[in-house]
Structure 1
Amino acid sequence: MPRLEEVGYYLRGLWLLLTGRSEGFQYLDFSERGFWRSWWAILFCLPPTLLSWASFRIYYLEQMPEGTATEPSFFAKLAMVEATNWLIPLLVVLVMARIAGMVSAALPLIIAFNWLSIPLQWAYVPVSLIQIWSPTDGSAALLYLLTLGTYIFISYKISVAILGGQRFPAVVLVLVLFMVPLMIQSQLLTALGLVSS
């Protein structure tokens, strides 16, 4: 498991790429070893993920009859949705890279997106807290949209850096990267009975 210092090293590399400084590549490990280590990002994202599950539980219970309890299967379903949210973008990157003839960029993109998920998942913490403390507060939706917009912009900038400054492929990649998982997540939540159809 990577130490916090190592994770900070990778995040510094992403920040440098985000600000247009190519030396950021020196901070990132785009090797096969780096690929497998990047999946430890899931563990570092666990606290904000569990917090988001707590906020979703409140939303779920509000839609259900009074007295409804959340069984362990409820959280197992959320875990399934979360796993899908991690794996679908991976498949999207692989498919898009192959279609665009940029297979060599697939591994760096996946590694970068995995590590990038840590600060971006933590950025959603205020949204989850508002949803828990004040479920009817509409500011949570606005804050969510602002955070999502920032997420998309940062993902685009990182993609441009890794794709060697090619903006159009980066735009297509990021759009597909966000739209496809959102559509699949919506269908999956409905199929699992976590939201009403």
Structure 2
Amino acid sequence: MPNLDHVLNFFSGVALLMAGRAEGLKRLDLSADGFWQSFSAMLVALPPVALSWIEFETSAPRTGTAAGYGAVPVYGAHALADFLAWTLPILILMLVAKRVGYSRKIVPLVVATNWGGALLAWVFAPYWLLMLALGPGNGLSALGLLVTIASIALTVRLIYMATGKDMAGAAIITIGMIVISLISYGAVMDLTGIRLI
């Protein structure tokens, strides 16, 4: 687990990449150890991600049979769905990297998207706090749409820079990540019977 200084340095690196500045890659650890260490970004992102779970569970209280689920299975289902949504795209990319000419791009891509995902989780945490404080409404729904669009746009930009300015690849990877996220949530809902989205 990297210390706070390292995390902030990685965050500054991915922020630079999102801003279109290639020197952001120099702030990331692209060694073999750095590759595996980048998966600790999931733990770094856990507090704001958990905030989104809490907001979902408080904004739409479960009724009927669904109300019988305890907190552990409900939040466990959220955690499993998000874990799969985070890791499955990376696993698929690693499996196909050589075939699609990404052998040399896979390390910067994975490291950047791991730390980028954690940074975005923290950047958009105030939205979840607003949702918890004010409850859902038209204004916050519009803000949520903007947050989603911004997250997708920044992810495309991050992948574009991490892959050496391959816009087609960045768009395909981002779309794949979104699709796999939805599949992950659907699979966990089918497996557990717990509504998550």
Same fold (TM over 0.5): yes
Number of residue pairs matched by the alignment:
196
Q: Which residue of 2 aligns with 1:186?
A: 186
Deviation at 1:174, TM superposition (A): 1.4
Task: Classify 1:162/1:68 alpha carbon distance in 2 versus 1 (closer, same or farther; 3 Å).
Answer: closer
1:106 and 1:194 map into 2 onto residues whose CA distance is: 34
Q: Is the 8 A contact 2:66 2:194 kept in 1?
A: no
User: Quick one: which amino acid aligns to residue 77 of structure 2?
Assistant: K
Deviation at 1:194, TM superposition (A): 1.9
Deviation at 1:60, TM superposition (A): 4.8
Q: Is the 8 A contact 1:10 1:27 kept in 2?
A: yes
1:17 and 1:124 map into 2 onto residues whose CA distance is: 18
TM-score, with structure 2 as normaliser: 0.86
Q: Which residue of 2 aligns with 1:75?
A: 75
Q: Is the 8 A contact 2:17 2:158 kept in 1?
A: yes
CA RMSD of aligned residues (A): 2.5
1:99 and 1:59 map into 2 onto residues whose CA distance is: 44
Secondary structure in 1 matching 2:105: helix
Structure 1 stretch displaced more, 89-98 or 141-150: 89-98
Q: Is the 8 A contact 2:156 2:174 kept in 1?
A: yes
Secondary structure in 2 matching 1:165: coil
Task: Classify 1:67/1:12 alpha carbon distance in 2 versus 1 (closer, same or farther; 3 Å).
Answer: closer
Gap regions ≥5 residues in structure 1: none
Deviation at 1:96, TM superposition (A): 5.0
Structure 1 stretch displaced more, 112-121 or 163-172: 163-172
Identity %: 26
1:142 lines up with 2:126 in the alignment: no
Secondary structure in 1 matching 2:115: helix
TM-score, with structure 1 as normaliser: 0.86
Deviation at 1:87, TM superposition (A): 1.3
Counterpart mapping for 1:100-111 below 5 A:
100-111=100-111
Task: Identify which of structures 1 and 2 has the higher relative contact order when contacts are C-alpha pairs closer than 8 Å and 6+ apart.
Answer: 2
Q: Is the 8 A contact 2:82 2:181 kept in 1?
A: no
Deviation at 1:21, TM superposition (A): 2.5
Q: Is the 8 A contact 2:14 2:24 kept in 1?
A: yes
Gap regions ≥5 residues in structure 2: none
Q: Is the 8 A contact 1:34 1:111 kept in 2?
A: yes
Q: Which residue of 1 aligns with 2:91?
A: 91
Structure 1 stretch displaced more, 182-191 or 84-93: 182-191
Q: Which residue of 2 aligns with 1:58?
A: 58
Deviation at 1:114, TM superposition (A): 0.8
